[in-house]
Structure 1
Amino acid sequence: MVDINKINLRLIDTTVLLIFLSLMRHRKATEVAREMGLTQPAVSHALKRLRMLYEDPLFLRRAHGLEPTSLAHELEPKIRRIVRLLSETLEDPDKFDPLSTATDLRIGAFDYELTSVIPKLVAEMRNLSPNIDVQAYPFVYSEALDALVHGRIDLAIGYFDIPQKSEASFVVEDLYTEHYVLAGRRDHPLLTANPTLDDMAQVDHLLVSPHGLIRNRVDEALRIQGYKRKIRTVVPSLFSALSIIEKSDLVVTLPERVAQTNGQRFDIVHRPLPIEDGGFQLQAVRHARNANSPLHFWLLENLRRVASL
C-alpha cells in the first residue's frame, strides 16, 4: 500500500480542483477568476500548487490562452468524478432517484445529434428510468442557447461558439471530437482512393444545410488553393442527403460517424477530406442554474457514456 505521507494531499482542496476544471473549460486564467469570484493571483497560485503536485506544467501558455497538456486531459475525468462525489455528500439522498422520478428531459439538438447521439440516449433512458421521457427539439447554435436561457430545454448538444460575454451563463462539456469525410455511392470514381483538392473541385457536390447555400471550411480550403466547389444541390437534413448520394453522382461532406453508421444502409463509402482541421468538438451545454442539479448530473453522465460508444 502506498504510504499516504508520501503524497502531499495538503496541496489539494476543493477550490484547487474547481479551478483546474474551470481552466479546462475556459483556457484563460482571467475567465476562471471571473467565474469563481477570485483574484487572478489566487488562480495562478492554485495552478502553481497543481503543477508542483503533479510535476507537470498542466497548462502551456499560447497566444490564444492556455493549452492543456496530455496529463491535464488525463486528469480531467478523474478530478471531475472527485468533485462529483464531494457534491453528492451535500445533496439530499432523497432528492433524485432515476427509478422513481417522473419528469421530462428536454434536449436541444440538430440533425447530426438527432441521428447519432439521441437514439442511443433514448434507448439508455428507457432502460434506466422508464418514467423519464426525452423530448428532442431541433434547435441549433444561438437558438439552443436562447432556449437554455429561457428554460425551454434542459440540455443542448452540438458545436457552440459561445460569446465571451455569455460564457458565465453556461456550463460547457466536451463529449468527443468528430471529423468530416467525403461520401458518395459505393462505386463513385472519385472515392476509389483518397481525393485531392483538385478532385473535389471537379466533382458535383451536395450540401447539407438548414439555412440554404452557405460556404464553410471546405470552400475556404479550396479557395486558398485557387479552386471552387460546385454545389449542385442543397438539402436541410442528413438522411435526405444520404438517400440522394446513394442514387446519384453527387458527393457530400459528412461527419465521419454518420458515414460509418449508414454505410451499409445506404450503400455509400467515404474517404478523408484533403484539408487540415476538418473536424469539430461535440459539446453538451447546460445553463449555469442547473450546474448542481442531481437530475442534470445524471443526464450528463448517461450522455457521456452513450457518446463514447
Structure 2
Amino acid sequence: MDEPWTHTTVMLKEAVDALFLDGPDASAPFGTYVDATFGRGGHSRAILARLGPQGRLIAFDKDAEAVAEAARIQDARFSIRHQGFKDLGELPPASVSGVLLDLGISSPQIDNPARGFSFRFEGPLDMRMDTTRGESVAEWLATADQQQIAEVIRDYGEERFAVQIAKAIVARRQERGAISTTTELAQLVAGAVKTREPGQNPATRTFQALRIFINAELEELQQALEASLVVLKPQGRLAVISFHSLEDRIVKQFIAKHSREVYDRRAPFAAPKAMKLKSLGRVKPSQAEVDGNPRARSAILRVAERTADGS
C-alpha cells in the first residue's frame, strides 16, 4: 500500500532491546511477542529480525490502513489482528515473552488530511483510529452538551480554557449548524483561547482531548496493562512508549502499584502478596533522535518485568 505519508519509528532500538535484553530466550528468542500497536510496522519488523525461527510475533491494530500495511509482511512467524490492544487479554495466560505498546498516533494518521487528526490540514473532523466503527468527533460534537464538551477538553487535554471552548462550540452549532471540518474547529478554538503557550497552536490541547476521548485511549490503555499481567510469562517484559503526561502517568502508576508487595491490613501477620512486576526504569530518546525526529521529543519508554512468583 503506497502512501505519501511516512512514519519514523520512535525509540526503535531502545524498545526492542528492552523486550529481549536479559529476558526469556534472550540468546535465541523463540517465544511469542506482541506488538500491540503495529502502526506502520517499524517495531514489528525489528522484533522479527531478532526472533529465532521458532519465534512468533502477534500484532494488534484497529486502524484498517495499518492492517493493510501489515499484509505486506510475508513471514510465517507474523500475524496481525484488526483489534485494539484492549483485546490483548484474548491471548492465553502466561503465553507471551514480551509486550510492546507504542501509544498515540502515527505520522501517516496525523499527516493524512482525510483522517481529521490535525488542525494543520483541512479535512473532515473524524479522528477515529478505526474508521469502520464508532462515532466521529464531528458526530459527537453535534449532539454533546456544553458540560460534556468542557469536561472532555479539560480532562483529556488539560486545557484551562475548556469552558470557553465548549461555549463557543455550542454557540456555533446553534447559529450555523455543527462543525464538520478540522479548520473550522481550529479557528473556533483560536478565538476562544485567550493566551497561547509559546510555539504551540491554541487548538493543540483540544484536538488531543477529542482524539483521546473518541478513541477511549486511556481506558483502553488501562485494560491492556491489566491484561499484560495475565498474558506475560514469568520474566516476560512489558515496554510502553508514551507521548503525553496522561498516558505516562497511567503507565508509571500501574508499574509502581504492581512493583511492591501488598500487605493485608486485616491480617497484619500474614505474608504479603508478592509483587507482580519489577520496574526496570525509564528511557528517553537521545538528543540525536529528537533532532532528527521532533515528534520523539516527548516520548518516554517505561519497562517492567513480570515476576516469577507474583500471582
TM-score for the superposition, normalised by structure 2? 0.29
Where is the helix percentage greater, Structure 1 or Structure 2?
1
Where is the strand percentage greater, Structure 1 or Structure 2?
1
TM-score for the superposition, normalised by structure 1? 0.29
